[in-house]
A and B are shown apart, each in its own frame.
Chain A
Amino acid sequence: MKNLLEIEGLTGGYNPNRPVLHDVSFNVNRGEIVGLIGLNGAGKSTTIKHVLGLLEPMKGQVKIDGKGFHENREDYRKNLAFIPETPMLYDELTLWEHMQVTAMAYGVKEADLDKRSGLLLKEFRMEKMRDWFPSQFSKGMRQKVMIMCAFLIEPPLYIVDEPFVGLDPIGIQSFLEMIVNLKEQGAGILMSTHILSTAERYCDRFVILHDGKVVLEGTMNEMRSRINRPDATLDEIYILATRGEI
């Protein structure tokens, strides 16, 4: 079977004279969580924008389920859900209407919408806020709206950008449990984060970006043996990697 998400020799960014990413390659398979790790400005968000099809590669390609963005945009986008770093909500829609419009856009059937939204609202303790507007939400609640909308679609691939900021501990726990659940059902998850201790526990593999290049990649054990530090933590590996000592 092909890889779910395949990034191959990707060079890209905003300005053709100054690419942000240089020859980036990695995969996300079905049934795994891949952590995308890097300092501010390392190229995580740019990578995510390329995967979403918001930026065009200058070189190389991004494929989901073996197909590039330009082969069929609708199919490509149907295959992924995105949870942004800063929640982006429609000011004039209630929580429920956010779920409604998401279901419409991704062709989720009404019966599925009812069932899934009920479970999600309960899991994230947002049942009472069903008819609230974004102006009434705290930062964490806004993040929950983003998460619930993404989970509503149930696509094969999830792109998650820094999901933990602003979430309360119970929200983080619910999010992680659901992510693990989805993974066990065969979904692939690409998650960028700075919370390394959580990433170390939940991600199956890691891609460490530095200055727009992949400096280290693999499972914890693979990375440890690459740098000959059999009991290094992710924090230590990450700091070594960003100092350019690998």
Chain B
Amino acid sequence: MTEENTLWKQRASTFWNEAVRYLRLIGNSGLLFAVIFTVIFGSYYYSKILKALPENFPGILLMSVVLTFFLVKSPIRTFLKEADLVFLLPMEYRMNAYFRYSLVYSILFQAFIIVLLMVVFGPLYHDQVEGGWLSYPVIIILLILVKGWNLWGKWSETHLPDWNAPFWYVSIRIMASFVMVYLLLKQAPILYLLIPGIGMILLMYFYFNPVQKNHPLKWQQLIKMDQEQSMKFYRFANLFTDVPKLQQSVKPRPVVSKALEVMLRGSSSVHEFLYWKAFARANDYWGIYIRLTVVGIVLMLVIPGLYGILIGLGLIVYLTGVQLSTLKLHYWGNIWLRLYPLREDTSNAFSKVIFLLLAIQSVVLAITNLISQKELVTSFLALFIGLFISYVYGFLLVNNRERMED
């Protein structure tokens, strides 16, 4: 019995050791500052929006839908690995303790998310749901119970073979969870709450539990579910640093590639060639660049006043730089770049690429501003700030990026 417990703890701590190292890197990057900035801005506008809400705004319905989504989506963190199919499969009948740990861990972790969600909903909740027999903390506790019920249901569903589509099981969970959440937020009398409550308990005994007894574990599904969760974290971390474990996806993007081809004609720098190709196709660098530029264009259209424009443009260019800087590590450890007979400066090639990208973005944003506000001086200053940040970031700051060593 004990060895499965230690195995689970070992797996969990391996993951968290690694996660903490990434989180520390993320904490050190300048982006955290920008996130805090955004949160402060966001909460300011949040309270403004709340005041402006019409009387008949369906706040409870909105909260119920969002909460139901997070309640029903209940992935189970098993920390299983591909190789377990070979090594742990024979031990399946002794793995109960291992999976109990997984379930408890998943409940705790996802309860935290529910609490977080309720904190975010706090102002809206107090605006819409005032005075009732259920207080705010009691509702949170009841929501966590619903979460536990959903995880138990999900655990049963993972026992089902593929042909026995879990679609119906999920539909039942969605309906039950939604009814329960909606009645809770509506402060329905206890008799009404008992109906879905008893229904959920009956489902557990006559639906979930038999499935667990009658079907063996589906290991491949469990492993896939765990990998998806790891990948989610790695993708997030990959915005800040190079994550070696992340399976890179490549998109052909023929139009962008063609444009680059024309632009690169006559260039002889191998590093620049490779960085441009990676920017266009690998890892969604292109998507990040376009998304941030679009956000910048919207900002340029809505922000009034000189300082707002300058800060907005500066922030967008800086954030784009931070997000693109992991591109530098893209060819880290590539054997060919070490074998080529080249006398090239990698850093300089990369700086040129980043500077050019940020400069193009600055020009686009400044022109957008000129068209929308027709203030030549403002646009000119904005362009100047943008190019200045592009230069400083591209040629000086970008070289400070760290790489996570394995």
- Do these two chains really belong together in a complex? yes
Residues of A110-154 contacting chain B, CB below 8 A:
133, 135
Establish whether residues A88 and B335, one from each chain, have CB atoms under 8 Å apart when the complex forms. Answer: yes
- Distance to closest chain B CB from A116 (angstroms): 18
Residue of B nearest to A106 (CB): B341
Chain B residues with Cβ below 8 Å from A90 are 274, 277, 334, 336
Contact at A104–B270, with CB atoms within 8 Å? yes
Closest-by-CB residue of B relative to A93 is B277
In the complex, the number of residue pairs spanning A and B with C-beta atoms less than 8 Å apart equals 54
Q: Chain B: interface residue count, which band?
A: 20 to 34
Give A70 Cβ to nearest chain B Cβ, in Å.
Answer: 14
- Whole-angstrom distance from the CB of B277 to the nearest CB of chain A? 5
Tell whether B185 is near chain A: CB-to-CB under 8 Å.
no
Q: Which residue of B lies closest to A135 (CB)?
A: B250
- The contact string, 1 if C-beta is below 8 Å from chain B, for chain A 92-105, is 11100100110011
Cα of A94 to Cα of B334 in the assembled complex, Å: 17
Residues of A contacting B278 with CB < 8 Å? Answer: 92
Residues of the A chain whose Cβ atoms lie less than 8 Å from the Cβ of B273: 100-101, 104
| Bound-state Cα–Cα, A107 to B277, Å | 20
Contact A91 B341 (CB under 8 A): no
| Top-10 shortest CB links A-B | A105-B340, A77-B341, A92-B281, A78-B341, A74-B341, A92-B282, A105-B270, A92-B250, A91-B250, A104-B270
* Best-surrounded residue of A97, A104, A106, A133 (most CB of chain B within 10 A): A104
| Chain A interface residues (CB < 8 Å from chain B) | 52, 54, 73-78, 82, 84, 88, 90-94, 97, 100-101, 104-107, 133, 135
Those of B262-283 within 8 Å (CB) of chain A: 268, 270, 273-274, 277-278, 280-282
Residues of B within 8 A of A92 (CB): 250, 277-278, 280-282
Q: In the complex, A92→B273 CA distance in Å?
A: 12
In this complex, what residue of A is CB-closest to B283?
Answer: A92
Pairs A–B under 8 Å by Cβ, sample size 13? A73-B341, A74-B341, A77-B340, A82-B339, A88-B335, A88-B336, A92-B278, A101-B270, A104-B273, A105-B340, A106-B340, A107-B341, A133-B250
A144 to B351, alpha carbons, bound, how many Å? 34
B137 at the interface (CB under 8 A from A): no
How far apart are A124's CB and chain B's nearest CB, in angstroms? 19
A74 pairs with B335, CB closer than 8 A: no
B248 at the A interface (CB under 8 A)? yes
Among B234-287, those with CB < 8 Å from A are 248, 250, 252, 268, 270, 273-274, 277-278, 280-282
Residues of chain A with a CB closer than 8 A to B343's CB? 74
The answer to the question of B338 belonging to the interface, with a C-beta cut-off of 8 Å to chain A, is: yes
Distance of A157 from chain B, by nearest CB (Å): 13
Residues of B near A106 (CB, < 8 A) are 340-341
Roughly how many angstroms separate A2 CA and B282 CA in the complex, as a whole number? Answer: 46
Question: Chain A residues near B250 (CB, 8 Å)?
Answer: 91-92, 133, 135
Taking CB atoms, residues of chain A closer than 8 Å to B282 are 91-92
Contact A77 B277 (CB under 8 A): no
Cβ-closest chain B residue relative to A105: B340
Bound: A73/B338 CA distance, A: 11
A94 contacts across to B, CB distance below 8 A: 252
A78 to B280, alpha carbons, bound, how many Å? 29
